[in-house]
Structure 1
Amino acid sequence: MVANFGFGTLVIILMVLFTAFRILREYERGVVFMLGRFHKVKGPGLILIIPGIQKMVRVDLRTVVMDVPSQDVISRDNVSVKVSAVVYFRVVDPQRAIIQVENFLAATSQFAQTTLRSVLGKHELDEMLAEREKLNMDIQKALDIQTDAWGIKVSNVEIKHVDIDESMIRAIARQAEAERERRAKVIHAEGELQASDKLMQAAQVLSQQTGAMQLRYLQTLTNIATDKSNTIIFPIPMDLVSALTDSLNRNPKKTSE
């Protein structure tokens, strides 16, 4: 009877010792409470927990990738869009992550959703589409400041998708087309301005020599002489007409004869 009692006691002691030991992986930490009060953070490796007196909560220190569900956002220019994002964060202080908040994963997810709506609501639609990197930084900073009290570090936030209504897509397409037309007109006007400037400089150079215009006239005739498919009317310079008129006025007798 005594032998059976001793064997049973040994078995109980072995079971207690077996349950007292915990093995924590390299990326895990154990937040230990003794009689309900925080004791210390242990791990990684083999640790000892006193059964009935100490309790341990495991905390994963690896980076968590969390999808932020699509949120209805009204931009500053009163455009309704649906925006989804991804948040990257990890626990840097296991003690605060367990003590300061009931469930740090759920708390971070809810706060990421509200922050996404509040930050994007301060910007116009064009900024959401063209300045995503800046918006990612603004959301990440806002999240990091709030979650710092929970022992969580938000390393990055990426906006995944901005869903726009079909009517708004057509309006944006019309706006882009009008912008392209405006740029084309401006470029054409700038080209005309530059061309007029160069023509003015060429006219000044040609006006410095009396025979320059006649030479240019003959060069132009030479260039168009090879093209016989069109009928070309070419103006005669007034210099040639005036020269002939002066010659006739000086010799009226020869013309009468």
Structure 2
Amino acid sequence: MTAILVVLAILVLGLLVLLGASVRVVTQFERGVVLRFGRLRGDPRGPGLNLINPVADRLHKVNMQIVTMPVPAQEGITRDNVTVKVDAVVYFKVFDPVRVVVDVQNYQAAIAQVAQASLRSIIGKSDLDDLLSNRERLNQGLELMMDSPAVDWGIHIDRVDIKDVALPESMKRSMSRQAEAERERRSRVITAEGELQASEKLAQAAEVMTAHPAALQLRLLQTVVEVAAEKNSTLVLPFPVELLRFLERATPAEQAPSAVASPTNGVPVQRSTPAPAAPAVGSG
């Protein structure tokens, strides 16, 4: 009787161990690919409890989440012969777990190699200005270059982002000098435009004051008030504007055409009429 109980206990324990080895848990973001004696068996298993043959079956779990993979900095020469180092980050996800298990040995390592090769290729095809200012187009180009081989492995490249572009120190100094020269040029242009606008406004103000003499008188009084308000020893003696205008009108009238200027040296020459000739006296 005791021997029978021992045998039954052993059988129950064996069944429990076999059952435990047969149960596999697949999480919500995973899919399970079952290989029986190395051959694909059925469709991928979904999330939850899955029973397999612990002796003949092998369950390979595949993560279906988006994977973030940093790409190490790759050194290359741009199309305009500038040596740069560029690093990036790749976002991809598995859409066919069967291909990932059957068609490629290590899909993450394969994606890493494709990313590095594509990054070096895009560096050689681009100018330095494109790497610095047109990254969106380069990101799209990288995504297309990587997605073409990745699709055959059951992987979709979600996006690729270029993170940083490292330049040589000599190139950094050259770009700094160029940027400083550009800022100085813009400053000079703005200053010149301001002076031009100020001169135009001054010309308009002069025309208005010429047309309205009272405005000039008011401006003179305003200047006197501003100078007097300052705490200094400046003595202001306003000069009558009417006197200047009177002198300006009187000066042309007082000029008399009494002298004729010499065309050579400008010295007045006094013209006189020649004296009449004396009559000749004849001899007898």
TM-score by length of 1: 0.77
Q: In structure 2, do the counterparts of structure 1 residues 249 and 29 end up closer, same or farther at CA, with 3 Å as the change threshold?
A: closer
Q: For residues 24-49 of structure 1, what are the alpha-carbon distances to aligned partners after superposition, in whole Å with 9 as ceiling and x for unaligned?
A: 22222111234543322113222122
Give matches, 1:93-108, under 5 Å. Answer: 93-108=96-111
Q: Specify whether residues 100 and 210 from structure 1 end up closer, same or farther in structure 2 by C-alpha distance, changes over 3 A only.
A: same
Q: How far apart, in 1, do the equivalents of 2:233 and 2:149 lie?
A: 79
How far apart are 1:195 and its partner, in Å?
Answer: 1.7
Deviations 1:97-124 (A, max 9, x none): 2223222111100111112222243333
Task: Determine whether 1:114 maps to 2:98.
Answer: no
* Pick aligned residue for 1:59 from 62, 70, 78: 62
Decide which of 49, 53, 58 is 1:46's aligned counterpart: 49
Counterpart of 1:79 in structure 2 is 82
2:160 equivalent to 1:157 = yes
Whole-angstrom CA distance in 1 between matches of 2:181 and 2:233? 39
The match for 1:92 among 78, 92, 95 is: 95
Moved more, 174-183 or 220-229: 220-229
Alignment equivalent of 1:169, drawn from 163, 166, 172: 172
Task: Select between 150-159 and 67-76 the one with higher mean Cα deviation.
Answer: 150-159
Amino acid at match of 1:24: V
Q: Which moved more, 1:146-155 or 1:173-182?
A: 146-155
Highest CA radius of gyration, 1 or 2? 2
Q: Is the 8 A contact 2:224 2:236 kept in 1?
A: no
Where relative contact order (Cα < 8 A, 6+ residues apart) is larger, the structure is 1
Q: Distance in 1 between matches of 2:149 and 2:238?
A: 81
Question: Which residue of 2 is the match for residue 125 of structure 1?
Answer: 128
Aligned-pair distance for 1:212?
3.2
Gaps of 5+ in 1: 252-257
Cα 1:246–1:56 change in 2 (3 A) is closer
Q: Once structures 1 and 2 are overlaid, which stretch shifts more, 106-115 or 208-217?
A: 208-217
1:77 alignment partner, SS class: coil
Q: CA deviation at 1:158?
A: 3.2
- Report the CA distance shift for 1:207/1:247 in structure 2 as closer, same or farther (over 3 A): closer
1:11-31 deviations in whole A, cap 9, x for unaligned? 766655543332222222111
Q: Structure 2 regions of 5+ residues with no counterpart?
A: 255-284
Aligned residue in 2 for 1:33: 35
Structure with greater strand percent: 1
RMSD: 3.8
2:72 maps to 69
Greater shift in the superposed pair: 212-221 or 99-108: 212-221
Shift in alpha-carbon separation, 1:112–1:45, aligned structure 2, 3 A: same
